[in-house]
């Protein structure tokens, strides 16, 4: 198909505008943990642009406690926003007497009802806070609970997702000049395609990428050789099966793979050991949900919990039966508030995933982020 000149110019301008907005482009591997650094740049930009935040934090480097306070302020802002704009939350909070100024501490969050996945599945457009003409893309996914959930995003939100994906890849060790990411999602049947999101992120950041959706191990290995693949991402079950077949075809380390990222499904330690022994490199878990923006958390090379896209989310862990907020270190259901979304923000959204909050520094040098421990599925029993 011929692409007309004006359309090519438009695409090129759009790409350049998009690149300028990406904070991840300013983050480099040597500056500590790239995902945390990316989050801090976003938080500092917010502080610079808000009188309330500037008065509270001034010019100093935000520490762990400052960031918790920052998130509560963003939470109150979001609460005001949904009370104005979200038909769902206006209904939910009606007659509760909820006022954003009542949320002064993390314990106060318990005053707000949780958002159930069924509500989002049954009436997605009740969550919509912007006019439909501002929607750039919708994603639908059943996730792991067999409920179709539709989420809409504005153009700026899509860019923020791409930005977080790039920061996560940088944290995994990708270097734009020397590395190629091979993207393998042959078993994903959702209406959104993680491969396309990833290849777009790579194109915008200057990383090399290649998509191969073949189920055949020979075919995948040929692509690795031809493309000089150094990083691999795909679903956990597929990468585990591929690794078992590859054991018969290659010797560990032969292809020079540096990192493997397993996403979309749980990865047991036994599966991880098998994959690492075949390819001779570290294997990292990645966690995300369509309704939260796809790429939400990833392990660093120390494999000690998931680093979150910190400024995007306020996370809580609750007792799934009583709804009580649990302290860091105790296992319960992960509940997430999307602090920066304007299109379809979610407040206290129940993920049904079981984990705990790790509220201490990581060996990789990330010292202000909260992390979450390995995810277990919530069965509802
Ligand atoms: Zn770390």
Contact 271, 244 (CB under 8 A): no
pLDDT of residue 293: 85
CA of residue 39 to ligand 1 center, whole Å: 14
Determine the topology of domain 10-376 in CATH: Rossmann fold (3.40.50)
pLDDT of residue 192: 59
Residue 191 predicted with pLDDT over 60: no
CA of residue 336 to ligand 1 center, whole Å: 21
CA of residue 131 to ligand 1 center, whole Å: 39
CA of residue 171 to ligand 1 center, whole Å: 9
- Transcribe 119-171 into DSSP letters: HHHH-GGGG--S-GGG--EEEEE-TTTT--EEEEE-HHHHHHHHHHHHHHHHH
Contact 290, 152 (CB under 8 A): no
Q: Which has the closest alpha carbon to 220: 173, 193, 260?
A: 260
- Transcribe 17-40 into DSSP letters: HHHHH-GGGG--TTSS-HHHHHHH
Residue 280 predicted with pLDDT over 90: yes
pLDDT in tens, 74-100: 999 999 999 999 999 999 998 888 899
Residue 137 predicted with pLDDT over 80: yes
- C-alpha neighbours within 13 Å on the C-beta side of residue 209: 22
CA of residue 291 to ligand 1 center, whole Å: 25
Annotated domain spans of the chain: 10-376
Q: Looking at the DSSP assignment, which residues form a beta bridge with residue 371?
A: 307, 358
Residue 381 predicted with pLDDT over 80: no
pLDDT in tens, 349-361: 999 999 999 999 9
CA of residue 36 to ligand 1 center, whole Å: 9
Contact 270, 335 (CB under 8 A): no
CA of residue 304 to ligand 1 center, whole Å: 7
The helix (run of H) or strand (run of E) holding residue 200 is helix 194-205
């Amino acid at each position: 198909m011929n692409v007309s000149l004006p359309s090519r110019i438009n695409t090129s301008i759009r790409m350049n505008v998009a690149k300028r907005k990406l904070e991840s482009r300013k983050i480099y591997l040597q500056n500590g943990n790239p995902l945390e650094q990316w989050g801090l740049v976003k938080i500092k930009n917010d502080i610079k642009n808000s009188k309330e935040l500037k008065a509270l934090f001034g010019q100093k480097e935000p520490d762990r406690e400052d960031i918790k306070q920052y998130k509560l302020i963003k939470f109150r802002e979001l609460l005001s926003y949904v009370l104005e704009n979200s038909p769902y939350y206006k209904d939910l909070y009606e007659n509760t007497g909820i006022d954003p100024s009542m949320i002064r501490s993390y314990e106060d969050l318990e005053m707000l009802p949780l958002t159930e996945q069924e509500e989002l599945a049954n009436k997605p457009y009740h969550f919509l806070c912007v006019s439909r003409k501002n929607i750039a893309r919708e994603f639908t996914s059943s996730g792991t609970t067999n409920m179709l959930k539709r989420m809409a995003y504005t153009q700026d939100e899509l860019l923020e997702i791409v930005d977080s994906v790039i920061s996560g890849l940088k944290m995994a060790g990708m270097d734009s000049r020397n590395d190629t990411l091979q993207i393998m999602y042959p078993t994903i049947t959702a209406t959104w395609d993680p491969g396309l999101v990833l290849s777009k992120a790579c194109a915008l950041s200057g990383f090399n990428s290649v998509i191969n959706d073949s189920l055949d191990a020979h075919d995948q290995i040929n692509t690795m050789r031809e493309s000089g693949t150094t990083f691999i991402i795909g679903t956990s079950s597929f990468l585990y099966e591929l690794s078992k077949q590859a054991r018969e075809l290659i010797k560990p380390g032969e292809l020079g793979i540096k990192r493997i990222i397993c996403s979309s499904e749980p990865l047991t330690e036994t599966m991880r050991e098998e994959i690492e022994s075949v390819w001779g490199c570290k294997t990292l878990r990645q966690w995300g949900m369509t309704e939260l923006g796809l790429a939400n958390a990833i392990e660093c090379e120390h494999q000690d919990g998931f680093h979150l896209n910190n400024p995007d989310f306020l996370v809580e862990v609750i007792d799934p039966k009583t709804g009580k907020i649990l302290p860091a270190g105790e296992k319960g259901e992960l509940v997430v508030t999307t602090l920066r979304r304007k299109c379809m923000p979610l407040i206290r959204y129940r993920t049904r995933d079981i984990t705990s909050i790790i509220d201490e520094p990581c060996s990789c040098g990330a010292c202000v982020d909260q992390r979450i421990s390995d995810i277990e599925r919530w069965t509802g029993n």
